[in-house]
Every structure is written in C-alpha cells, then in structure tokens.
Amino acid sequence: MNEREERRLLENLEKLIDMLLIASESGAAIIVEGKRDSQALRELGVKGSIIMAARRPALDLAESVAKDFDEIIILTDWDREGDELALKIEGYLRYTKAHADLEIRRMFKRYLRKEIKDVESLSRYMEQIRDSKD
C-alpha cells in the first residue's frame, strides 16, 4: 500500500470510528463478540453500552438488547463466523422496535478485510497506522 492509499485508509477509518463514537454517545448499543472486542472499542474511546454476544443465543441477545435500546450497531468480526452471527442477530432484531445497523460493520470489513479480520485488532491496528503517519 502506498503512502497516499494509507493516508486515505486512515481518513476513512477515522470517519468510521467517529460515527461509532457519535452513535454510542447518542445512546446506541454496540454488539461485539467478546471481551477483547469490547476492550478494543474502549481503547478507541467508546464510552457507551457495549454488549457481548459470546455464549448467548442470538435470539435471547436480540430480545434483551431490543428492550433497552432503539439503535443497535452490530459489530461482529468480519470473518465467516462473524458474518453469520451478524445476520442472525439482525434477523431477530428485524421483528422488534429496535433498528439494527450493519453499515458500520460493512464499511470496516470493506476497508480492513485484507489487513485484520476482527474487532479486537482494531485499536492496535489504528495505533500502528497513526504512528506510521507521524
């Protein structure tokens, strides 16, 4: 990746992270797979609700989250397993009053699938590319 492409990638990722932070500050819940994913988002500055999907049936998770939140961002890993879980949760949320957002996840996947495959690597990766710009 040349310097121009790297700069553009960093700008796009910064915008996505800003969108995530704004949504979280506005009361959206973010669903991740596990504890390390949650920690990575905290390192990126997310202060709002982060809900872990690990070891919970998707239907129970969706019903529980939909009771407390109107806006839910699904941010599972962008591997096959994460894809399946995201679609399953989104499908269950479709029948609730809550709005499920998969767009932020799609954008992270689009920009990062060649670099990293999971949310837990996101804060470390962002640190690396920010440092390379200094």
What stretch of H or E contains 95?
none
Question: Rounded distance, CA 119 to CA 78, Å?
Answer: 8
Local confidence band at 2 (pLDDT 50, 70, 90 cut-offs): confident
The CATH number of the domain holding residue 23 is: 3.40.1360.10
Number of domains in the chain: 1
Closest by CA to 127, choosing from 10, 39, 7, is 10
pLDDT 10s digits, 41-67: 999 999 999 999 998 999 999 999 999
pLDDT 10s digits, 71-93: 999 999 999 999 999 999 999 99
Q: Token pair for residue 65?
A: 């989250």
Question: What is the per-residue pLDDT for 134?
Answer: 65
Closest by CA to 134, choosing from 5, 7, 2, 1, is 7
Question: What is the per-residue pLDDT for 64?
Answer: 95
Would the pLDDT of 133 be above 80? no
Strand-pair partners of 30: 50, 73
**Average pLDDT over all residues of the chain:** 94
Q: Give the alpha-carbon dihedral of 93, 119, 20, 14, to 10 degrees.
A: -150
Instruction: Give the orientation angle of helix 103-112 with respect to helix 3-25, to 10 degrees.
Output: 160
Question: What is the per-residue pLDDT for 38?
Answer: 97
Question: Rounded distance, CA 94 to CA 43, Å?
Answer: 30
Question: Rounded distance, CA 18 to CA 46, Å?
Answer: 10
Domain hosting residue 70, numbered range = 3-133
Question: What is the per-residue pLDDT for 123?
Answer: 94
